[in-house]
């Protein structure tokens, strides 16, 4: 058992805070400094931490620690006795009495945001080097910003102007970017995300996203599906090989496999008071400029004609048409031009 513990002395003087947060909670590459530190310590086998501070610690501080470690809060006046007890029990104590940042095997202290910004350059380079050593290809390291918590599989290509944040996990042989931001996402293998944003969602293997797509939290996109240009998803599930090539909004919906969405399709999930869910089965074809007004279910194999507003359930293998019948007025255009010319 590793008998090393770390005591972190948190400042009680609010005048040392920047924008309401102490230096130890400032972000470096989207990640609090304290999280960088706890990751470095736990990688060395440290499993016990003491927070020496006045009163109770905020949730933001506790969130910086992995779930499998012991964290105990100690009042500054009681720390000497606690340290004496730990030493008597055979524990070796490391104390951080000022903000520190891990760089390689060192803990570098800093005392201002200016110094922290200077450290951030080295932290950026360290993260890039780490991923490159694992077989990740980064075309322009200077324009890639990667949170230290991010995991990337071998063979994945990161194109310029890509931002990867939070607990994002990317599989092997993916292509991410350019001009892309992923936050707290899970990606399978061979996923492509081009000039798009996604947050809090899961994209399974062989999914294609973009350009200019926006995937909001709560989405699961199954294998082989295509999310094209100017598409937005929110709190929905999509089955395998489902395609929405462009200009589509799907929110609060459960969509089956092999569904085709025509251009301009919208799920009208909000009635001004509550959100309602749309259910679409497998092998459904949805024509262009269709509106689905939930709660509504479109069953397997159904067709929805272009321009249709769906307000009631569509049975399996049926055609739904909800639009005015076309009327042609012969000669109207010619007469209109002659009238305007006069």
Give the whole-angstrom CA distance, residue 137 versus residue 35: 26
Q: CB burial class (10 A; 0-12, 13-18, 19+) of residue 1? A: exposed
- Residue length of the chain: 342
What are residue 193's DSSP bridge partners? 176, 209
User: What contacts 260, CB < 8 A, 6 or more positions away?
Assistant: 242, 243, 284, 285, 286
Give the whole-angstrom CA distance, residue 115 versus residue 108: 10
Residue 289 Cα to chain centre, angstroms: 29
Q: Is the peptide bond before 302 cis (omega within 30 degrees of 0)?
A: no
Give the whole-angstrom CA distance, residue 171 versus residue 151: 8
Q: Is the peptide bond before 211 cis (omega within 30 degrees of 0)?
A: yes
Backbone torsions φ then ψ of 94, nearest 5 degrees: -105, 130
Please confirm, yes or no, whether 258 is among the known catalytic residues: no
Q: Which of 9, 246, 258, 276 is catalytic?
A: 246
Identify the H or E element spanning 283: none
Structure tokens of 199? 């947050």
Looking up tokens 């009042």 gives: 75
Q: If phi over 0 gives left and psi between -120 and 50 gives alpha, with beta otherwise, what is residue 89?
A: alpha
DSSP letters, 197-210, are EEES-EE-TT-EE-
Give the chain's radius of gyration (CA, Å): 28
Identify the H or E element spanning 93: strand 92-96
Give the whole-angstrom CA distance, residue 304 versus residue 313: 11
Residues that are catalytic? 246
């Amino acid at each position: 058992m590793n008998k090393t513990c770390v005591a972190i002395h948190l400042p009680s003087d609010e005048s040392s805070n920047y924008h309401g947060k102490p230096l130890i909670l400032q972000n470096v590459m989207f990640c609090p400094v304290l999280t960088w530190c706890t990751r470095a310590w736990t990688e060395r086998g440290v499993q016990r931490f003491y927070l020496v501070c006045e009163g109770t610690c905020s949730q933001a501080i506790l969130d910086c620690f992995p779930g499998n470690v012991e964290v105990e809060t100690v009042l500054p006046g009681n720390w000497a006795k606690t340290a004496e007890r730990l030493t008597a029990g055979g524990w070796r104590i490391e104390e951080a009495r000022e903000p520190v940042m891990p760089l390689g095997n060192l803990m570098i202290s800093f005392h201002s945001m200016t110094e922290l910004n200077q450290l951030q350059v080295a932290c950026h380079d360290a993260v890039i080097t780490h991923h490159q050593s694992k077989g990740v290809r980064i075309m322009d390291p200077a324009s890639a910003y990667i949170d230290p918590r991010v995991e990337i599989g071998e063979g994945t290509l990161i194109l310029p102007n890509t931002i990867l944040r939070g607990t994002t996990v990317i599989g092997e042989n993916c292509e991410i970017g350019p001009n892309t931001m992923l936050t707290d996402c899970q990606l399978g293998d061979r996923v492509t995300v081009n000039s798009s944003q996604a947050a809090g969602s899961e994209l399974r293997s062989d999914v294609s996203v973009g350009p200019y797509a926006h995937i909001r939290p709560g989405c699961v996109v199954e294998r082989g599906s295509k999310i094209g240009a100017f598409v937005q998803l929110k709190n929905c599930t999509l089955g395998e090989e489902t395609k929405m090539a462009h200009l589509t909004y799907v929110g609060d919906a459960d969509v089956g496999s092999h569904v085709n969405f025509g251009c301009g399709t919208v799920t009208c999930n909000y009635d001004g008071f509550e959100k309602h869910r749309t259910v679409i089965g497998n092998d459904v074809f949805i024509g262009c400029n269709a509106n689905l007004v939930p709660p509504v279910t479109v069953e397997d194999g159904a067709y929805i004609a272009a321009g249709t507003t769906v307000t009631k359930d569509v049975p399996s293998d049926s055609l739904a048409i909800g639009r005015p019948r076309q009327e042609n007025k012969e000669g109207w255009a010619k007469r209109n031009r002659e009238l305007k010319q006069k």
